[in-house]
Structure 1
């Protein structure tokens, strides 16, 4: 291992976000589809949801999907492409013959920033009109095309303006892993132009990454140090930035 790149950012909710919590988390009368919450009752973004979305968007953009016998799209599991190197492969019977390698990326669960959670709880600032403790509700209606029967449902959403603390750890084993960081940054850009969570085609789940900070930990000293400048957005990350990162990590070998 050469070292690790640690990425911290603010994940800002631009339109209501719904990541379902399942029937076990339904606590509010009248809500048909609640959002996932921590033990403190605060909504959060599971790392698995964010990682899965980044992977699927990258696979679609680069035509890296595999298919099953029914022709349905499945995550790539070739074990050789940059998608598999970054995000890993499943532990299936088919993949037992492949040389095993560690997944490069760790996506932490993202929790609300403390000041945002406090404003939501107290219904202050931008959240003074929030109807629930940390969330809002929105009616959605589907129509049966055969019977014309309406099926109204009440969805719980994390409101616009919520900000989550995002942390991603990317492990670098060789120079190719450094080059693949560009693919990870691509995934962030794809996400900003797509959506996170459910009901995206109905306007839910637009998010943006802001105040992105990069830290490196080399294998030589494993002492955290900030790398480069704080970036306002993923669009500010250019080839010069990648060149400096590559030089630093190679020098640490």
Structure 2
């Protein structure tokens, strides 16, 4: 069964995502010649600029929100399965089982902004990215295994944007409060790979909330944009402290 609701309006959330440390979100690579980078980043095939896939952002925020608000015990201190996610998780991020629930949040790929392109152009190892040399040590025989990882350098900015579908007007503020919780945890966590080794620390700031004009096709009557803005601004305090 598919659960669908009428959309009473759309709210745009925009801002800037800045890399505090280098970011690596990998791309599949079938062949790596000797001396080549072992793990490359995902790029836009048209511009060759690195991107942050919307799926990576969505998955990270969903996982962090589950860890933050789901207090149910599983016996082994593990997270509950995605099928058993709380209703407030499913309505924000969607679900496919046991019933199909459409996500109220729409995610998009994040693209490097023009200022970062100009700042990094011709100043990095590869186009807009750097090469990080690392060693892994085999604990049995102490043999080093050197490798090269590509990552987007610290300081790069990406345009951040979400669309929120207004389905139940009485749940909008609660949904934004949960999104703010996810963003707070996001600022104290990481995006992409190798986060426990210092990669992928980010901050999302300058958040702006706008009720989109859909030419009178929808008429949300109880949306306090100023209040929604203040709810999300709470998450920025964690970003600005970085």
Q: Is the contact between residue 20 and residue 36 of structure 1 (CA under 8 Å) also seen in structure 2?
A: yes
Q: What are the ranges of 5 or more consecutive residues in structure 1 without an aligned counterpart?
A: 239-253
Counterpart for residue 58 of structure 2: 51
Q: Is the contact between residue 25 and residue 193 of structure 2 (CA under 8 Å) also seen in structure 1?
A: yes
Question: 1:28 and 1:160 mapped to 2: Cα distance?
Answer: 27
Q: Deviations over 1:93-125 (max 9, x none)?
A: xx1xx3x4321111100000022113322x3xx
Say if 1:234 and 1:25 are closer, same or farther in 2 by CA, change over 3 A: farther
- What secondary structure sits across from 1:6 in the alignment? strand
1:88 maps onto 2:94 in alignment: yes
Taking structure 2 as the reference length, the TM-score comes to: 0.79
Q: What are the ranges of 5 or more consecutive residues in structure 2 without an aligned counterpart?
A: 1-6, 219-223, 238-242
Any residues of structure 2 matched to 1:5-24 within 5 Å, and which? 5-24=11-30
Counterpart for residue 137 of structure 1: 131
Counterpart for residue 38 of structure 1: 44
Say if 1:71 and 1:187 are closer, same or farther in 2 by CA, change over 3 A: closer
- Aligned length, in residue pairs: 221
Counterpart for residue 61 of structure 1: 68
Question: 2:34 and 2:8 mapped to 1: Cα distance?
Answer: 48
Q: Deviations over 1:144-182 (max 9, x none)?
A: 122222111111010011000011111111112432111
> Structure 1 residue 207: deviation in Å?
0.3
Question: 1:204 and 1:65 mapped to 2: Cα distance?
Answer: 31
Q: Is the contact between residue 20 and residue 200 of structure 2 (CA under 8 Å) also seen in structure 1?
A: yes
Question: 2:210 and 2:21 mapped to 1: Cα distance?
Answer: 29
> Structure 1 residue 22: deviation in Å?
1.3
Alignment partner of 1:168 out of 151, 154, 162: 162
Question: 2:40 and 2:73 mapped to 1: Cα distance?
Answer: 32
Q: Is the contact between residue 172 and residue 178 of structure 1 (CA under 8 Å) also seen in structure 2?
A: no
Counterpart for residue 114 of structure 2: 114
> Structure 1 residue 27: deviation in Å?
9.5
